Structure 1
Amino acid sequence: MTLTPEQQLAEAARLMRCSEYQQAIALNQQVLQQQPANLNAWHMLFELHRLAADYQLLAQAGIQARQQLPEFKAAIQAAYMALRQLQRHPEAIALIQDAIKQYPAWAELQLQLGLLYKETADFAAALTVFNQAIALTPTLYEAYWLRADLLKQPTTTDIAQLRQLLATTALPDNARAQLHYALARALEFQGHYADSFAELNAGAAAKRRSLPYNHAAELAEHQRSSLPFAQLTFDPAGTAEVTPIFICGLPRSGSTLVEQILSSHPAVSAGDEMFELAQATKEVLSQPQQQLPFPLWAASMSEAQWQQLGQCYLERTRHLHANGYFTDKMPLNYKAIGIIAKALPQAKIIHCQRQPMDTLFSCYKQLFADGIAFSYSLTELAEIYQAYQALMRQWRQLLPGRIYQLPYEALILQQQAETASLLQFIGLDWADSCLAFQHNPRAVFTVSSTQVRQPIFSNHIGFWQHYQPQLATLADMLAPDISQYQQQLQLRLNRC
């Protein structure tokens, strides 16, 4: 029986709900062959490619839909998202610039163009278009936060505008958080640290209200993350045609800087923050295993499944393989170190560390996407830090010699020696370009995009001390951790 296009789309929607993405994609493509202007089919095809994390096909679909349907705004957004994910920023910039000519009053396009400029280090252009977005739509609250670290000399008018917007009583929590964090950054640039901290507290409270978060469950996940791996055997670190370099640790611990240095080496491609490991894991797991919480299913995985997981990950990252090495800088992959070591014996694992107070306060003053929900409470940050440290001790016991410890301060204070040691661990020859990482032209997606465009500087070491009165309780909670870290850092510095 031949299905009508409506029936095909209904079946495709059912398959999508069951995660049968490829079959659903095929049905959508059949519909579009018959009805090239079927917007429902295009919308579903975009979503399917996104869910399948196939950004090459998403970019092709978005560009094709835009050519066929020039007024179809969703095609612009689909192509933009895919090109940005693929780090094809020149094409994404050209796409958005063309769309702005078509829709000059669409402020979100200015926002997206500003983000592309920011990620490619054209900070003056980014600030200009963020300001244009705000001029078009003063209630586009995200623009205020995205420009906050570019507005290094905020005026009284800038600050008054933020305060006036915050006086609006009906603001959604996410919008209120963006404005509070933007105002906190502006006040910090002016040296008004106590006032800045008050805005951070208000912003953190607003952001937390917008998020579903179970702190006890997060701590429990840390506590069990290494348990099933204690009974597994691991192949020794080996060599392969392609070597992934996993850079992990708590957010704001220097991971973006490390990736910028490594990707300045001619043999290394930068992957930035990638979800491919989680996607590959989900793809390999059978349904009964998926019902177990992460990562308790690991104990029942066969050797064939582990190999399949590693191969699936490598298939998903194939676009990064040209130079032989590539980075995967998802900070919270420290919880998945057992998975990495088991599925990818050739992988290099780098653990980025930083002084506890600098790490946690830098997390607290950063407005993340929704995935770092523990960063909006100082008490919870301290508890996560201690759970993370306990987990890392367990990984080091299970995988001696597999995890490279890299303190941020050591890298800042003795850049060449630490860079040489890091390259040696990975198995790379020395390259002078790694010392001039600030000239690396790659797009940088993370919140550190402005910082890694500068040479090594020590301004951020001990920056938390500007807020010492406000952070005294946190410092007391972490006193043993701070002492231990300082001792280990001093030993590291004395070694060179």
Structure 2
Amino acid sequence: MLLIDRANELMDEHRLREAEFMFKAVLKENNRNGAALFGLGRLCIRLEDYDSAIYYLRRACENLPKQLEPLFTLAHCFIQVGSPVDAKTVLEYTLNVAQHSARAHYELGQFYLDYGFISQAKTVFSQGITCQNEEVTPYIFRELVQLASTHSLSSFITPLEKLLEEYDDKGLNIVTYYALGKCHHRLGHYDQAFEYFKLANSTQLQYCDFRTKDMLPLFEQIKQHFDSAFFEKATDRVTTTFIPTFIIGLPRTGSTLLEQMLVQHSCIGSIGENTALSDTIVPYLIKRSEAPFPYCFSNLSTSASDYCRSLYIDEIKKHRVPDEVVINKLPANFQNIGMIYRLFPDARFIHLTRDFGATAWSVYSNHFDANEPYFCSLNEFKLYAEAEIDLMAHFEKCIPKNILTLSYESLVAQPEKMINRVLRFLGQEYEPECMEYYEDHRPVNTLSKAQVRKPISKAPLTNWHHYKKNMIELLNDEQTDQSEQTNPVSP
């Protein structure tokens, strides 16, 4: 086992070839060593060699029959290669052999939820909370309190409160606070709901290692670098087989709803909330130019631009999206408009907006796994929203023909008219299937995964009204706290 342990350490250090050598050395001695097979399977996933990963993981599952992790990893791998039927088979088998495992219930329930099988998800999650508590139990409750019927919600409150006593883990407590907040909200206990959301946010904010104000200099640098003179320069002649399309804006402004409606169109596909621009292209340019973003875009050669385009096109190929219009719905790509325009001058940007109060409340009352301050503080979100509005105003002046602004309220009030407008912007004809988005079973991985499986509801427009007074008071309190921290008053 020493070789296996060392191989796993090397993999953690991203020394993949050395780890591969050690795993294969173990298999030379015993070609049925499950730990080595599992290690090679995970290593191949890191290398994005999914066919090899599936081969090794299948063998690992055969040779580690009492371990669930290889099965979960194999299911994940099938999803990556676009084989949800195989993933479903693996997860259903896993639950069948591990009926007392909360994790097995959670993984299958999440699969059902992601693919729009809401009633099956609710059934599996309901069974999952009867299992012995595990670390996934708060996450099961988080999903279940949004899916269950109202009359059953009261029975969840006591078990959730007990979870707070059982776990000495702030991360799990945060999830439990959100679940309790959602539960009380749906029961109409708005004061209790607000207190739990407040606990969830204030606890999560402690994990954030920066504040929104730290980002403001970057936004100013983006405006200064990608100024009107930048956009007036001649662009490369770029020929692509697709129209790069970006749904951008603040979180919780309806990007998932709009995406689901658009991808029903026969000529439109999506790569989801893809981060290739910031995770792959920007690091390449920073290393190449030895300058930080956005200055790494200064004096960009045609060959470097072509390489960056190829990186993004490879990402689309990886997702097997052959459509005429290819959507990237990562809201934060509003920061990357200048970069995108430089690479794809014909790119289209759909800027979603929404009433600030409704948006702020939707962010505040939902659990984002990322520990970023604007996800867990109303005042931090207000600062982020102001920066986004300012930056978008700048870009809309520079390239107005490339940007379409659409409000969430208009989309909900007049969905067919607004979809027609978006399709015209993308050079497409209207197709009625766009209005039947909620019947689709393609995967959705965002916080809105359950909402987009239903016809449009106007409830999100007014839900925040129950908390308007609390929000104003909290905004004032947070501003006072920040002021005192910045300018402490001597006793």
TM bin, normalised by shorter chain, reads 0.7 to 0.9
Q: Cα–Cα, structure 1 residues 58 and 406, in superposed 2: closer, same or farther, change >3 Å?
A: farther
**Partner Cα separation in structure 2 for residue 277 and residue 311 of structure 1:** 12
Secondary structure of the corresponding residue to residue 350 of structure 1: strand
Matches within 5 A, 1:304-315: 304-315=303-314
For 1:354-369, what aligned pairs fall within 5 Å after superposition?
A: 354-369=354-369
Structure 2 unaligned spans of 5+? 478-491
Q: Is the 8 A contact 1:269 1:326 kept in 2?
A: yes
1: CA distance, partners of 2:295 / 2:287: 14
Q: CA deviation at 1:298?
A: 2.1
Q: How does 1:65-80 map to 2 (within 5 A)?
A: 65-67=60-62, 69-71=64-66, 73-80=68-75
Structure 2 CA distance for aligned equivalents of residues 16 and 158 of structure 1: 39
Determine the structure 1 residue equivalent to 2:428. Answer: 428
Structure 1 residues 424-466: Cα deviation after superposition (integer angstroms, max 9, x where no partner): 1111121110122112221111110111112222221132111
Structure 1 residue 145, shift from structure 2 partner:
0.9
What letter matches 1:172 in structure 2? D
User: Secondary structure of the equivalent of 1:445?
Assistant: coil
Q: Which residue of 1 aligns with 2:260?
A: 260
1:188 aligns with 2:185: yes
Which residue pairs with 1:379 in the alignment?
379
Equivalence map 1:160-199=2 (5 Å):
160-168=158-166, 170-199=167-196
Maintained 8 Å contact 2:54/2:77: yes
Structure 1 CA distance for aligned equivalents of residues 81 and 376 of structure 2: 30
**Aligned partners of 1:89 and 1:443 also within 8 Å:** no
Higher mean C-alpha displacement, 197-206 vs 324-333: 324-333
Residue matched to 2:414: 414
Mapped to 2, the partners of 1:371 and 1:335 lie a distance apart of 19
C-alpha separation between the residues in 1 aligned to 2:325 and 2:416?
Answer: 21
Cα distance, 1:378–1:286 mapped onto 2, change above 3 Å: closer
Cα deviation code 1:298-326 (max 9, x no counterpart): 22532221221111111122133333333
Which residue is equivalent to 2:247?
247
Q: What is the identity, as a one-letter code, of the residue corresponding to 1:126?
A: A
The answer as to 2:131 corresponding to 1:133 is: no
Contact 2:396–2:403, Cα closer than 8 Å, also in 1: yes
1:83 corresponds in structure 2 to 78
CA contact (8 A) 1:320 1:326 kept: no
Q: Give the drift of 1:115.
A: 0.5
Stretch deviating more after TM superposition (302-311 or 338-347): 338-347
Question: Quick one: distance in 1 between partners of 2:454 and 2:435?
Answer: 11
Q: What's the CA shift string for 1:2-25, capped at 9, x where partnerless? A: xxx959x76x976984x676x568
- Tell me by how many angstroms 1:182 deviates: 0.6
Equivalent positions of 1:3-152 (< 5 A) are 17=13, 27=21, 31=25, 34=28, 36-38=31-33, 41-42=36-37, 44-52=39-47, 58-67=53-62, 69-71=64-66, 73-86=68-81, 88-139=83-134, 140-152=137-149
Cα distance between partner residues in 1 of 2:369 and 2:335: 19
| In the alignment, structure 1 residue 299 sits paired with structure 2 residue 294 | no
Give the structure 2 partner of residue 456 of structure 1.
456
- Equivalence for 1:332: 332
Instruction: Give the TM-score normalised by the residue count of structure 2.
Output: 0.85
Shift of residue 261, structure 1, vs aligned partner = 0.6
Query: Could you state the TM-score of these two structures normalised by the residue count of structure 1?
Result: 0.84
How far, CA to CA, are the matches of 2:26 and 2:294 in structure 1?
Answer: 40
Q: Which amino acid aligns with 1:307?
A: D
1:348-359 alignment runs, 5 A limit:
348-359=348-359
CA distance in 2, matches of 1:234, 1:87: 40
More divergent stretch after superposition (249-258 vs 126-135) = 126-135
Distance 1:248 1:188 in 2: 29
SS, match of residue 225 in structure 1: helix
Q: Could you tell me which amino acid in structure 1 is paired with residue 99 of structure 2?
A: P
Alignment correspondent of 2:155: 157
CA–CA separation in structure 2 for the residues paired with 1:238 and 1:474: 49
SS at match of 2:349: strand
Give the AA of the match of 2:303.
A
C-alpha distance after superposition, 1:217-261 (max 9, x if no partner) = 233333333443336446389763123322121110000011001
Shift of 1:62: 2.9
> 2:303 aligns to what SS in structure 1?
helix
Distance of aligned partners of 1:113 and 1:251 in 2 relative to their CA distance in 1, 3 Å threshold:
same
- Any conservation in 2 of the 1:215–1:380 contact (CA below 8 Å)? yes
Structure 2: distance between partners of 1:211 and 1:186:
26
Tell me, yes or no, if the aligned pair for 2:236 and 2:302 is still in contact at 8 Å.
no
What's the secondary structure of 2:155's corresponding residue?
Answer: helix
Deviations 1:144-196 (CA, angstroms, capped at 9, x unpaired)? 1122211241433211222232244x521111111111111111111111211
Total equivalences in the alignment: 468
Residue 216 of structure 1 aligns with an amino acid whose one-letter code is K
SS state at 1:246 partner: strand
Q: Which amino acid aligns with 1:362?
A: S
Give the equivalent residue in structure 2 for 1:491.
none
Which amino acid counterpart does residue 160 of structure 1 have in structure 2?
A: T
1:283 and 1:222, CA in 2 relative to 1: closer, same or farther beyond 3 A?
Answer: closer
1:97: how far off? 1.0
Work out whether residues 229 and 299 of structure 1, in 8 Å CA contact, stay in contact via their aligned partners in 2. Answer: no
Kindly tell me: are residues 102 and 402 of structure 1, through their superposed partners in 2, closer, same or farther at Cα, counting changes over 3 Å? same
Does the 8 A contact of 1:16 with 1:48 survive in 2?
A: no
Question: Which residue of the partner structure matches residue 316 of structure 2?
Answer: 317
Instruction: Return the alpha-carbon distance in structure 1 between the equivalents of residues 19 and 299 of structure 2.
Output: 32
Q: Report the secondary structure of 1:160's partner residue.
A: helix
Q: Residue 396 and residue 164 in structure 1: after superposition, are their counterparts in 2 closer, same or farther (change >3 A)?
A: same
Give, in whole Å, the separation in 1 of the partners of 2:437 and 2:237: 28
Task: State whether residues 382 and 474 of structure 1, in contact with CA within 8 Å, keep that contact through their aligned partners in structure 2.
Answer: no
Cα displacement (A) at 1:387: 0.8
**Structure 2: which amino acid aligns with 1:393?**
A
SS of structure 2 residue aligned to 1:148: helix
Bigger shift: 323-332 or 185-194?
A: 323-332
User: Amino acid of the residue matched to residue 363 of structure 2?
Assistant: C
Instruction: Give, in angstroms, the shift of residue 70 of structure 1.
Output: 4.0
Q: Do 2:108 and 2:121's aligned partners in 1 also have CA atoms closer than 8 Å?
A: yes
Three-state SS of the structure 2 residue aligned to 1:351 is: strand
| Structure 1 vs Structure 2 CA RMSD | 3.1
Which one-letter code corresponds to 2:179 in the other structure?
A: A
For structure 1, the residue ranges without an aligned partner over 5 or more in a row are 478-496
Matched, 1:215 2:215: no
CA distance in structure 2 between the aligned counterparts of 1:237 and 1:185, rounded to whole angstroms: 51
- Which one-letter code corresponds to 1:145 in the other structure? R
The answer on whether the counterparts of 1:269 and 1:321 sit within 8 Å (CA) in structure 2 is yes
Shift of 1:37: 4.1
Contact 2:27–2:36, Cα closer than 8 Å, also in 1: no
